[in-house]
Structure 1
């Protein structure tokens, strides 16, 4: 019988119980799932920050077992501390759980022991060694059911030191009977520097995990069950395995004793014998008389009420989510914490005790901060300045940059869409230019030949006239597309109307003062009387200053150009208004 196989099978039965039919497809996960998960595991050191898809992880010592970690998780600025199993009490080899140097928004913590308070370490160690001493000196066998990792190593340190100080016990053997515990011992002997200062100081003389009075029991066949001894065997709750087998062999002898040294779940044999029944069931269903002594000493490396409460007081989270505990213990802990903190103005707690598979919904209002990158960051922004760019969100980070710099700072590629439209047109180039001038005000002649004339309007749309056809070209964007629609409508209207019978009318250059008066009326009608003030009109009378909300725009009466540095959209709206007003006055 291999103890490692027994423990492994016990673990599977505990973690992944089959349904009543024992169907494999009802397992929570399979061996294949475990192997597949290995490709998604990243290693992290304590106090190191690791970012995965915008979620930040930091690990802190939890003090539960060697290597146990609490994780601080930051998602979009919300900080969540998940303690897992933790202990704030330093023992013989482990440091206590750390207090992270931040205030988490959410604390997810265990409620294993509810409102119970552990004994002091010195008191429980003295009681433990006294019980073991009494059992073996009366000729009995001492069974200590223990999990392979964590408490087993703590108990072995205590027993090895006690045996060292009591020569009369040297002839009584101590065994730890677990293949997994044996493998764990190699890890403990290696990672001494991950333990507390006491263990590290002992290393100067000897490795404290190289025990002098404790040996490994490879299998039940190698066990000489002929006299007093101490055996630590897994599993800790005696639901199966070697600890259950030894218990069934020893429980009928009053000289023997069982010491339960850790947490017990309802429904397990370890929990059942604490009530000292007269009989106990065997694995085969038979009943055996319980004559051996049964004692309970909590060496559990789980936090108690005092540790949990002090931990919460240090961190002052807004929300506490209690997990890992029986319902009654969890509700007792919740009630005690609410009573303790109900009048504490510095620590307002909202506590949740969700059942398995029940989500907890929390709402957070955090500020979204965008970093400016590239050329937009070359100069410091000024108060009231509007910055235009592309807002890029990656995971939970925001950046603002120019469209042309997207390939530099992101994995995004930029493309340019050039639009080309051909429109049948039988009119002359002059007819086309006349209608374009009515729309845009200013028409730039790019090139002119007898059979090919190219115009440009709005500094964006190129129009090429050829006999019987007009071609429009522009770089597509929301503004240019809007201008292109207007130009296309003008061309179609000109094609339908043709040349006026009396020829093209002459466009009159408007009087500057006349134009200013008409513009002021139009602006006040569109944006309100307060948009224009006499004192902000420049003395040279060549400019009109327009205030719209917090933006300021300037209209040049000489070339009819509009400038607004803080709002390009307002600039376009005003430019269209100026052009249309100019067309109306020019045609009069």
Structure 2
């Protein structure tokens, strides 16, 4: 066996890992888009599949974030004709994500989109959590796969691949973490470590830091809301349509007491929020307790949705001119596209407003520039034009859907039969090095580390 990484090896985006069982059989774990500085001006060329896929028997999608599934159109164009294996919730969410990505990156032609979606839906194989299923069973080897809840977003999974060979008593177990969730993520149960891993491919996005507690982040979110009310300003929250948006709505419902409108200005986020509501059986115990109390965590009375582009432009104009306090959640999460850009253009120069980051901002994105230079009165370039930053800029780290350093350490320490090899992926160089050092200090010093 050997492992190849076709993305997220030397950075955070473009997750794509190929496990070669032998020369004729391999398995692909994720196939995501590159973002920020990890891409270039010719995105179509950057996202093209430049590796040999002739041996790939299946694609396993750990979850539906675009940096994990966004290259699927290019994978199909390269000739991949195998199944796309994912969890049951991801099977419902994946077509929504890929439809949006196809329209943005390839074509908006209705017939092409429909043809593409039929192709996607015919390939999806939904698997329940916690159950082994056999991918291949030949005289040479048997390959089994199991999905376990990762707690990152609804439907997210880490993947256990078990490879056994005739005459060899012990199988080889390879675990791909995908993106692991924080232990206090709303709506979702925390991930539980696998029983065994011989080789562990582990994400390291926040390998060099720990998040604020849930109590701290709620306090800071409430403080931002109170400032908006006092300043008659808008709190702009750039957020990814799936995962982060629903977590924010869940906590805003608890904090607001009908005093402030929450504007969800993203048709895609609205679709995902509706899908989250339909997938209540996969929510955690705390969320179910709220439902039993008659609460509506993702459908409260002050939640307003904006669908059409015309309504969006009217809302931007109204909030930037009226002095009416509000909270706006809009994509994209790194401010490199989407409706949040129009809000930023209209409001960054006004100190009444707040920009509140709740997720990772990749190098080279406008979000990272606002985050880095905004507190010092800097500027950011949006659509080739400079905008001065006078709005207040804040970051609440506790809302990350990724496990922090301690969460990653706990995941590895919780594996009963420890890995002999740990490959750190999906992280900046400094984060990977810091996580390696922390794991060694935590007693994981018998494994070989590959960064």
Return the TM-score normalized by structure 1. 0.53
**Alignment match, 1:488:** none
Which of 141, 145, 165 matches 1:57?
Answer: 145
**Which ranges in structure 1 are unaligned for 5 or more consecutive residues?**
1-10, 354-588
- Please report how far the alpha carbon of residue 248 of structure 1 lies from its aligned counterpart in structure 2 after TM superposition: 1.3
Aligned to 2:356: 259
Contact 2:236 2:329 in 1 (8 A): yes
Question: In structure 2, how many angstroms separate the alpha carbons of the residues matched to 1:286 and 1:75?
Answer: 53
User: In the alignment, which residue of structure 1 is the partner of 2:409?
Assistant: 309
Q: CA, structure 1 residues 221+109, in 2 after alignment: closer, same or farther (shift >3 Å)?
A: same
Q: Does the 8 Å CA contact 1:105/1:319 hold for their aligned counterparts?
A: yes
Aligned residue number for residue 237 of structure 1: 334
Pick closer, same or farther for the CA change 1:20–1:292 going to 2, 3 Å: closer
Structure-1 separation of matches of 2:219 and 2:209: 20
Q: Distance in 1 between matches of 2:39 and 2:179?
A: 26
1:161 Cα deviation (Å)?
A: 1.6
Q: 2:252 aligns with which of 152, 159, 162?
A: 159
Deviation at 1:312, TM superposition (A): 1.1
SS in 2 for 1:241: coil
Q: Which residue of 1 aligns with 2:263?
A: 175
User: In the alignment, is the contact (CA less than 8 A) between 1:63 and 1:90 conserved in 2?
Assistant: no
Tell whether the 8 Å contact from 2:40 to 2:46 is kept in structure 1 after alignment. Answer: no
2:127 is the counterpart of 1:44: yes
Which residue number corresponds to residue 447 of structure 2? Answer: 349
1:329 paired residue number: 431
- 2-structure distance, mates of 1:19, 1:285: 16
Structure 1 22/84 Cα, relative in aligned 2: closer, same or farther at 3 Å?
Answer: closer
Q: Please tell me whether residue 286 in structure 1 is matched to residue 379 in structure 2.
A: no
Q: Determine the structure 2 residue equivalent to 1:434.
A: none
When structure 1 is superposed on structure 2, of 131-140 and 29-38 the one drifting more is 29-38
Distance 1:124 1:25 in 2: 37
Cα deviation 1:275-294 (Å, max 9, x = unaligned): 23433234343322211000
1:152 deviation in Å?
A: 0.6
**Pairing 1:99–2:99 present:** no
Runs of 4+ in 1 over 3 A off after TM superposition: 11-41
The reply on whether 1:340 has 2:442 as its aligned counterpart is: yes
Provide the alpha-carbon RMSD of the alignment: 2.6
Residue 210 of structure 1 aligns to a residue whose secondary structure is: coil
1:158 Cα deviation (Å)? 1.2
Aligned mates of 2:392, 2:377 — CA distance in 1: 12
User: Is the alpha carbon distance of 1:292 and 1:81 closer, same or farther for their aligned partners in structure 2, counting shifts above 3 Å?
Assistant: same
Alignment partner of 1:84: what SS?
A: coil
CA 1:23–1:49: 2 relative to 1, 3 Å: closer
CA contact (8 A) 1:118 1:304 kept: yes
SS of corresponding position for 1:270: helix
Matched, 1:217 2:311: no
Partner of 1:295: 394
Instruction: Determine helix, strand or coil for the equivalent of 1:57.
Output: strand
Gaps of 5+ in 2: 1-31, 50-70, 78-97, 99-115, 137-141, 165-170
The answer for the alignment partner of 2:275 in structure 1 is 187
Q: Is residue 264–residue 270 contact of structure 1 (8 Å, CA) maintained in 2?
A: yes
The answer for the alignment partner of 1:110 in structure 2 is 203
Change (3 A) 1:15 1:247: closer
Q: For the residues of structure 1 that align with 2:173 and 2:34, how far apart are their CA atoms?
A: 36
State the match for 2:297 in structure 1. 208
Take 1:136 and 1:282, find their aligned partners in 2: how far apart are those partners? 29
1:180 shift after superposition:
1.1
State the TM-score, normalizing by the size of structure 2: 0.68
- Give the number of aligned pairs: 333
The structure-2 alpha-carbon separation of the partners of 1:308 and 1:139, relative to structure 1 and needing over 3 Å to count, comes to same
Hey, what's the Cα distance between the residues in 1 that align with 2:36 and 2:121? 19
Contact 1:62 1:87 in 2 (8 A): yes
Q: Equivalent residue for 2:175?
A: 81
Q: Call closer, same or farther: CA 1:12–1:23 in 2, change over 3 Å.
A: closer
Cα deviations by residue, 1:308-367 (Å, 9 ceiling, x for unpaired): 11211111222211111112211221222223326x6xxx222111xxxxxxxxxxxxxx
Per-residue displacement from partner, 1:181-211 (whole Å, max 9, x unpaired)? 1111121111112011011122224343222
Question: In the superposition, relative to structure 1, how do residues 25 and 320 fare at CA in structure 2: closer, same or farther (>3 Å)?
Answer: closer
Mapped partners of 1:25, 1:352: distance in 2: 25
Distance in 2 of aligned mates of 1:286 and 1:95: 43
- Looking at both structures, which has the greater relative contact order when contacts are Cα pairs under 8 Å and sequence separation is at least 6? 2
Alignment CA distance shift 1:321-1:22 (3 Å): closer
Q: Does structure 2 retain, via aligned residues, the 8 Å contact 1:135–1:141?
A: yes
Q: CA deviation at 1:219?
A: 3.2
Q: Call closer, same or farther: CA 1:312–1:46 in 2, change over 3 Å.
A: same
